[in-house]
Amino acid sequence: MKQIFTLLLIATLTACGGQEENNVQPAAVSLELPSLFFTETRPNDVKDLVEVKKTAKKGDEVTFLARIGGRGNASFVKTVSMMIVADPSLISCELMGEEEHCATPEDYCCEDPVLRAQGLGTIRFMNERGESYPFSIEGSHGLETLKYVVVAGNVVDINESGVFVVDASKVWVGGKPSFGNNRQGSTE
């Protein structure tokens, strides 16, 4: 009887937050893209985004140079691992030369709408299950609006309206251009 009472007492203490507590901690969720997506070595002889789009087809493996940005202040999607990129030939507002030309420097609002559609692309980062990571990738591994990137990946959607979606397999992150030197940051 004494043993039963002792077992009941231990069970009661444990259930009420006694000495034996559950020390299982929830797993930390990373909000950073895996390093396997990134390289510090810039690929050589890379074409610009618009040149690649001219001949790309769904399923093609492509590699191209672009800049992060292109749609106002929505370069990065807040809830999934996606970003918008623009062809280096497009001139963003921060390169227009006027100090306060536009409130969103990563916008290409002064570009011809047809050229803008031809020069934009969407880059997705997918996990091993084929799903987007459920967080913004802004800042991950140096990804910032206006920086140059070389993207290698698989074309998952393309059409004549300008849609161009690539699932990234490897990305090199460069620097930013400056007024008078639109290609600064594209090789370093």
In a domain, 188, yes or no: no
The answer to whether position 59 is within a domain reads yes
pLDDT in tens, 64-77: 999 998 766 678 99
Q: Are 88 and 67 in contact (CB under 8 A)?
A: yes
Q: Could you tell me if residue 13 is inside a domain?
A: no
Q: Which of 15-24, 126-135, 146-155, 164-173 has the lowest mean pLDDT?
A: 15-24
3 belongs to a structural domain: no
Q: Which residues contact 61 (CB under 8 A, 6 or more apart)?
A: 152, 153, 154, 155
Range of the domain at 151: 35-173
Determine, yes or no, domain membership for 187: no
| Total domain count, the chain | 1
CA–CA dist 11, 16 (Å, integer): 8
Indicate whether 2 pLDDT > 60: no
User: Is residue 1, in this structure, part of any structural domain at all?
Assistant: no
pTM: 0.80
Q: What CATH number did the domain enclosing 138 receive?
A: 2.40.50
Strand ranges (E), 18-147: 38-39, 47-48, 61-68, 82-86, 120-124
Among 27-36, 118-127, 137-146, the least confident range: 27-36
- In the DSSP assignment, the letter for residue 36 is G
48, pLDDT greater than 60 = yes
pLDDT of residue 98: 60
CB burial of 74-103 (b: ≥16 within 10 Å; e: otherwise) equals ebbbeebbbbbbbbbebbbbbbeeeeeebe
Higher pLDDT, 19 or 188: 188
| 14 within domain boundaries | no
Task: Please state, in angstroms and rounded to a whole number, the distance separating the CA atoms of residues 19 and 146.
Answer: 55
The CA distance from 38 to 106, in Å, is 23
Q: Give strand pairing partners of 93.
A: none
pLDDT digits (tens, 9 = 90+) for 79-115: 999 999 999 988 776 766 665 656 666 677 777 888 8
- CA distances, 92 to each of 9, 96, 101, 176, 177 (Å): 71, 7, 10, 12, 10
**Euclidean distance between the first and the last CA atom of the chain, given in angstroms as a whole number:** 78
Range in 4-18, 39-53, 61-75, 134-148 with the lowest mean pLDDT = 4-18
What's residue 115's pLDDT? 87
Q: CA 143 from chain center: how many Å?
A: 7
